[in-house]
Chains A and B, each alone.
Chain A
């Protein structure tokens, strides 16, 4: 049947443009006679070949965009300025302190002494570089995917011909450029050390290669975890922890097994550990060698690090592809998909009579008839949960109900891994061995420090990122109510590690291998550290825009307090030739005791159940004297209280700064 004619235009009027009738259904290009139609034999879909061109893989549009964006950030230039300045400061302190410690000699002797100084200086710089690049790398990469997820741009990227490999490697390359620039900043310093002589160029190359390849590995781990985790700070810290596990775990297991079985492991087995390799290079510069030849190990370690980084990146590509598809299709993220109704369905919930709560809320909703219809399609995707009664402090109520882990499954997996690790430890190390308890306490303390440093950094910054902050500020909740609620919530989420550590110590004490007050000392130290870093994290979260920045600054604060301060104090004492005085010992005791690791170390010296030893006057030794149990416990309690007051003080400072930082007008 012919389509109807369009109506004739009115006489004299400009003719209207006829609307083209829709094309008849069927193929746009009919097949030629004799050719098979599309229905009978569809054309084979061209197989997409992966683009393995390194240039497009690493330096494609993602790389270019990231480089442009990085160039616009003030933090980029701040880091580039801070890093060499810190290195220079450490090097200068070390140099002048060492110089001051040298006896006055003639010019020729002086030159010889300087030659001896060079390796030490090079090592200080190399370890600084190793630590800094290894920590900064995951921070840089973890946020790269997290920010895309938050901005919901992954789905848009999926619509482009770019592959997930191009995205992953592009982002990695852009971050590696930043790291390379930072490494280049330290190169002149390291090379300048060579002027003194006594340091081979190969060693500088080895130190730089291990540091950079470690940074590439931690950057890759950060990238991978950034695809899983919602918060970049969490991803970055997890990347560091996994790196430490990779670099320390196998070596520890090998050492324990070798120790118990008289098996001598081949040297290549520990080349995977960057820390051991760095320690080996350090030893070879210092004249020792651990009985191993480290001259070739740096090459092997660099290769292992880069190989692992490649594997991690490939895994990240596969994960990213899955997440992009989920984002594009609107499917909820996997971590959210399991929560289902735990209470009776809606129809079974008893109707509560509406007691006209407002000045005339209507009995029935106006749009009720059509309301559900428009959302029918989304009904199937709606997830339901168990409804709880909210307390009178809503922020506190919500914060203490935030899960410490993303899902229950993750908690179970983690508990199993920890149980397996403890099983291994208990199997090879007897409870009577104090090394076991020290390992548990130090590793536990390290994890608590890291966790506390990031636990609250997303408290405010995360709400800003999720855009829930504005709504919260419109309520009459005071700054203290909001921030103290978040402090308590942040502390509660850290329960796992202290619980594991204390459970182990309680078991050891119950079996009679540890003196019970050691539990109290460790508990006090853990509480102090957790409250302090959570409080400072909360303050930084309020003051800084991004949760990642807040986490990095908080970790930097802890490092400068516990590592930087003792180093600076020690070098300053050396510089002022005060090393053997009572004053320097007192300063040394002060800066050491504020370090929780040092405090726990002193406490663990007397964790024995040899009561005769504990009650000796020199049970707990410091530089400027010794303490018995009661005064030492008092010292630990006071330091813990001091740390707690710093944390609470930081929270109260955040409350005072709240109107200014949040923008609330009154």
Chain B
């Protein structure tokens, strides 16, 4: 559905995108990860036909961004990282405005606007002036606007930025709903845990170069990271060094490190059984206060994949 081939974009001496190649299939929810200034927004703007690449080719649904802009605009919904709003319109008028801009016949507009208001839970705010909405509601309105012309592809640039925790949860639910509707979604975010829950695949970009693109599982596998267990010992246990030595001798355990009164036990990649750890602890006489397995997070994968990649 989305295809970028050796796309390069420069701003003066700054290389925003450096021969970026990427492919996203239909119905995928693709999380675009990278630090500020990595090139995420530039990529999205190129796909939304808002920017011309210096070289390379980009296509959405087999339509070139260089020559098929009007057609692409009809199938793409782009939400920028900062949503500017027309402060003189109500929510309903704002959506009608964009419905009209997308040439939706007047007879159908009412139903479509009602539909997206319902979906984004803005029905109560139909008559509210757009600039008086809270940040969370404005972001929901941004999503509503993006959906107004029933796009196949959604390009969402930091849709959850600046939202409070509850609004984030709501936004995540909404995006999950959209994913379930079969839309192809490309979403950038700094909240990696949210992307991990929503996305089927991710891309990691840094300084204009794509460091990784693929499934989240593959990212974990590539980082060669196993599961981590936090063990808290109670009073009466043998000295920490003894316990560490006992665990280190146990097969399937890669590393044991003390951490602020606890022990962090890193399992070898692919090892999922906790039985051996418990057995080793019991064998050395340790009194276990807490045994907390922790999944490898997307943050860990991101850090490991980007560490030194460009140096």
A370 touches B118 (CB 8 A): no
A371 touches B121 (CB 8 A): yes
- The A-contacting residues of B in range 133-173, CB under 8 angstroms, are 133-134, 136-137, 140, 145, 147, 150, 164, 166-167, 169-170, 173
Q: In the complex, A10 Cα to B169 Cα: how many Å?
A: 38
B150 touches A359 (CB 8 A): yes
A109 — which chain B residues lie within 8 A by C-beta?
none
Q: In the complex, A358 Cα to B134 Cα: how many Å?
A: 27
How close is B43's CB to chain A, nearest CB, in angstroms? 13
Interface centre among A9, A10, A356, A471 (most CB of B within 10 A): A10
User: CB within 8 A of B121: which of A339, A365, A382, A390?
Assistant: A365
B289 — which chain A residues lie within 8 A by C-beta?
10
A474 touches B73 (CB 8 A): yes
User: CB within 8 A of A665: which of B66, B232, B262, B263?
Assistant: B66
B76 — which chain A residues lie within 8 A by C-beta?
474
Q: In the complex, A398 Cα to B86 Cα: how many Å?
A: 10
How close is A406's CB to chain B, nearest CB, in angstroms? 11
Q: In the complex, A336 Cα to B177 Cα: how many Å?
A: 36
- Could you mark each residue 454-468 of chain A with 1 if its beta carbon is under 8 Å from any beta carbon of chain B, else 0? 000000000100111
A388 — which chain B residues lie within 8 A by C-beta?
93
B260 touches A14 (CB 8 A): yes
Q: In the complex, A622 Cα to B36 Cα: how many Å?
A: 66
A357 touches B134 (CB 8 A): no
What does DSSP make chain A's interface, helix, strand, loop or mixed?
A: loop
Task: List the B residue with the shortest CB-CB distance to A468.
Answer: B84
B240 touches A398 (CB 8 A): no
Does B239 have its Cβ within 8 Å of any Cβ on chain A?
A: yes
Task: List the B residue with the shortest CB-CB distance to A12.
Answer: B239
- Could you mark each residue 281-297 of chain B with 1 if its beta carbon is under 8 Å from any beta carbon of chain A, else 0? 00000000100000000
B85 — which chain A residues lie within 8 A by C-beta?
466, 468
B51 touches A346 (CB 8 A): no
Does B192 have its Cβ within 8 Å of any Cβ on chain A?
A: no
Number of A positions contacting B (CB below 8 A) = 79
Interface centre among B74, B120, B134, B182 (most CB of A within 10 A): B134
B84 touches A466 (CB 8 A): yes
Does A30 have its Cβ within 8 Å of any Cβ on chain B?
A: no
A15 — which chain B residues lie within 8 A by C-beta?
261
- The B-contacting residues of A in range 185-205, CB under 8 angstroms, are none
The stretch of B105-113, B193-201, B215-223 in contact with A is B105-113
B: interface residue count bin: 35 or more
Does B56 have its Cβ within 8 Å of any Cβ on chain A?
A: no
B128 touches A470 (CB 8 A): no
- Could you mark each residue 87-106 of chain B with 1 if its beta carbon is under 8 Å from any beta carbon of chain A, else 0? 11110110011111111001
A12 — which chain B residues lie within 8 A by C-beta?
237-242
Q: In the complex, A545 Cα to B101 Cα: how many Å?
A: 24
A16 touches B261 (CB 8 A): yes
A468 touches B115 (CB 8 A): no
A367 touches B173 (CB 8 A): yes
Task: List the A residue with the shortest CB-CB distance to B146.
Answer: A474
Q: In the complex, A61 Cα to B269 Cα: how many Å?
A: 57
A366 touches B176 (CB 8 A): yes
Q: In the complex, A361 Cα to B260 Cα: how many Å?
A: 49
Does A360 have its Cβ within 8 Å of any Cβ on chain B?
A: yes
Does A586 have its Cβ within 8 Å of any Cβ on chain B?
A: no
Does A375 have its Cβ within 8 Å of any Cβ on chain B?
A: yes
User: CB within 8 A of B50: which of A353, A468, A473?
Assistant: A473
B51 — which chain A residues lie within 8 A by C-beta?
663, 665
Does A46 have its Cβ within 8 Å of any Cβ on chain B?
A: no
Q: In the complex, A218 Cα to B5 Cα: how many Å?
A: 56
A373 — which chain B residues lie within 8 A by C-beta?
166
Does B205 have its Cβ within 8 Å of any Cβ on chain A?
A: no
How close is A374's CB to chain B, nearest CB, in angstroms? 4
Q: Which residues of B contact A (CB under 8 A)?
A: 46, 48-53, 64-70, 73-74, 76-78, 80, 82-90, 92-93, 96-103, 106, 108-112, 114-116, 118-121, 123-129, 131-134, 136-137, 140, 145, 147, 150, 164, 166-167, 169-170, 173-174, 176-177, 181-182, 232-242, 258, 260-263, 289
**13 pairs, CB–CB < 8 Å, chain A vs chain B:** A10-B234, A10-B235, A11-B240, A14-B260, A357-B112, A361-B116, A362-B181, A378-B133, A381-B132, A391-B100, A466-B85, A470-B80, A663-B52
* Given A346-B123, A665-B53; 15 other pairs, CB 8 A cutoff: A9-B261, A17-B260, A332-B132, A358-B147, A359-B182, A361-B116, A361-B119, A367-B121, A370-B166, A383-B129, A384-B127, A463-B84, A663-B51, A665-B65, A666-B66
